[in-house]
Amino acid sequence: MFKVVRKIYSLLDHSERRRFLVLILSMIAVGLIDVAGIASIMPFMAVVSNPEVVSSNHYLHWVYQTFGFSSENHFLIFLGLLVFFMLLFSNAMKAMVLWLDLNFAHFRLYSLSRRLFSSYLSQPYGFFINQNTSILHKNILQEVAKFTHEVLRPCTQIFSRLVAALFIFGLLLVIDPLLALIIFSSMGTVYLSIYFLAQRRLVVIGEERFEANAQRSKIAGEAFGGIKDLKILNREAFFFDQFSEHAHKAESRMVAHGLFSQLPSFFMEVVAFGGILIIVIYYLVVKQNIGQTLPVIALYAFAGYRLMPALQGIFSAASLLRFNLPVLDRLHQDINANPCARPILSRQQVPILPFKERIQLQAVTFSYPGSDCPILKSFDLSIEKNTSIGLVGATGAGKTTVVDLLLGLFSPDQGQLLVDGMPVKAETMAGWQLNIGYVPQSIFLSDDSLANNIAFGVPADQIDMAAVERAGKIANIHDFVIKQLPNGYQTPVGERGVRLSGGQRQRIGIARALYRDPAVLIMDEATSALDGITEEVVTQAIRTLAGKKTIITIAHRLTTLKDCDLIYVLEEGRIVEQGSYEELSGSSNRFRAMSRSAI
């Protein structure tokens, strides 16, 4: 249990820990007030059952005399009103603490979801290669909510109800120690026995629910992500059956948990009724004074009215907490996974890294995470500023890996990335990336307007529409936007650009890369989805940037590299040949073969 508390504590920042302390102190205060309310019932019932106690009891007599009551009936009304207002005050305080509890829990949902999202966003690119994004979505949107409502709140509920139960027990212990021990030992034995019998099973079914929920999120994400293939191949039934299987498993585990958490309440109804019988028998046999029975029965009945929900709440909260330990473990692991990760900064907070001379990869060796086979080994590459270079080679030659290293998506295992002779380190990587415009093979488009997709990540009120149109013209999409789209650059493109053709999506990607007017333009098969005419128009537009920008191009269609100053031929992670298009066409059998086969 202490390990669980430490993990939860580590997920709270300093401000949240202070608020949590205020909540705990409020719960203790409410526990004391609740006990005072319960204790107030005993003198009232004592006077009801035996009015002479006003004279015989020193404390009651003092109150009677001090406030100048003229009759026992008036005094009884006073005691009744006192009990009523004590209970009213107690419940009002409980309502206030409930508000504090709910406020604390719900705003931890806000803060923890932000921290988890931030933790994921700040992870290096390699982290996402081994992750399923549907599961990351689920962790942020579902599991954080489960943590706040089914781990954090149960912890506060266990504490508040434990405080209330201990204070009530202390009151009953003062009234009659032996009877209090008998009642508490019998009730505690029932709850503890069921809890210890069920706790291991609760952990197992909690892990099974967590995994089943992850799988159904993954299946739903894959089904919608591949909806076109799914429809063409008629695979709806396969994904539906897979989803149904895991959804059924997740919910069946929820049913099992619900049964475990409510099980003691059935036994406790019998125990509570038996407790009243025990009190009556105890006073008849041990005390042999039935006149004292009514006030004590009233006290224990009211204490039981408060105590039973407290004990049942402790058990239910402990069961819920045990069931959701996998959620706590995953959040603790993911939020603290990379404490040295690069913080999330806005563009205004990142100074651009100066680039005046050249980019170099120096003696670079690199293997992808989880692989022992290097893609690049002792690789060297130097690119002068404002030159155009091409990277060609068969699939798996290392072209995209070189680009990923230049982009700063991966760090070399050995060697380094240099800009103007200075190593690009983790703290300056974001500044280096501000120099780059990148066009990948597959363009991601958000379900937003075309302008927002070109400016991508810039708030709508800060978008430079002149820059959007300039980039659109270079990418040869401006005329299409102005003449054919109903709302021009404000036209929604649909999820992942589903309303556009592949070539149109590719041109938006090119426009996005050019929006910031970067010093370096990297294109990975950027024109592969374009028809021949459009490709030539876009290529001609990019040619106008030659000598003004550093352009790095990966292409299988080698004719797009004719205007490059230098072309590097890669094979098995090494540069095997280099030269201009004309030089390689005349001297390299490998290059000519690649050109003929349009590799």
d(CA 448, CA 312): 50
* Boundary residue ending a domain (335, 361, 392): 335
Q: How many domains does the chain have?
A: 2
Q: List Cβ neighbours of 59 (8 Å cut-off, separation of 6 or more).
A: 43
Give 3-state DSSP helix, strand, coil % of the chain, rounded to 5: 65, 10, 25
Share the mean pLDDT of the chain. 81
| Coil, strand or helix at 66 | helix
Residue 397, pLDDT score? 87
* Boundary residue ending a domain (335, 356, 375): 335
Amino acid at 369: P
- Regarding whether 289 and 182 lie in a shared domain, the answer is yes
Residue 77, pLDDT score? 83
> Which own/partner pairs from 498-501 qualify as long-range (CB within 8 Å, at least 24 positions apart)?
500/445
- 208 belongs to a structural domain: yes
Residue 521, pLDDT score? 92
- The boundaries of the domain holding residue 233 are 2-335
- 394 belongs to a structural domain: yes
Q: In this structure, are residues 520 and 550 in contact, taking their beta carbons and an 8 Å threshold?
A: yes
Using CA atoms, how far residue 181 sits from 169, 187, 514, in Å, is: 9, 10, 78
- Regarding whether 371 and 330 lie in a shared domain, the answer is no
- 549 belongs to a structural domain: no
- Regarding whether 390 and 274 lie in a shared domain, the answer is no
Assess whether pLDDT exceeds 70 at residue 342: no
352-372 pLDDT, tens digit per residue, is 899 999 999 999 999 987 777
Assess whether pLDDT exceeds 80 at residue 277: no
- Which band of pLDDT confidence, cut at 50, 70 and 90, is reported for residue 406? very high
- Which band of pLDDT confidence, cut at 50, 70 and 90, is reported for residue 599? very low
- Regarding whether 359 and 322 lie in a shared domain, the answer is no
211-269 pLDDT, tens digit per residue, is 888 888 888 877 877 776 677 667 778 888 888 988 888 888 888 877 776 666 666 66
With tokens 């293939």, the residue in question is 229
Domain containing residue 367: CATH number: 3.40.50.300
Beta bridge partners of 568: 391, 578
372-397 pLDDT, tens digit per residue, is 788 898 899 999 999 999 999 888 88
* Token duo for residue 11: 């997920």
User: pTM of the prediction?
Assistant: 0.69
Assess whether pLDDT exceeds 60 at residue 131: yes
39-54 pLDDT, tens digit per residue, is 777 677 767 777 777 7
User: In 10 A of CB 192, how many CB atoms?
Assistant: 12
With tokens 């990966």, the residue in question is 554
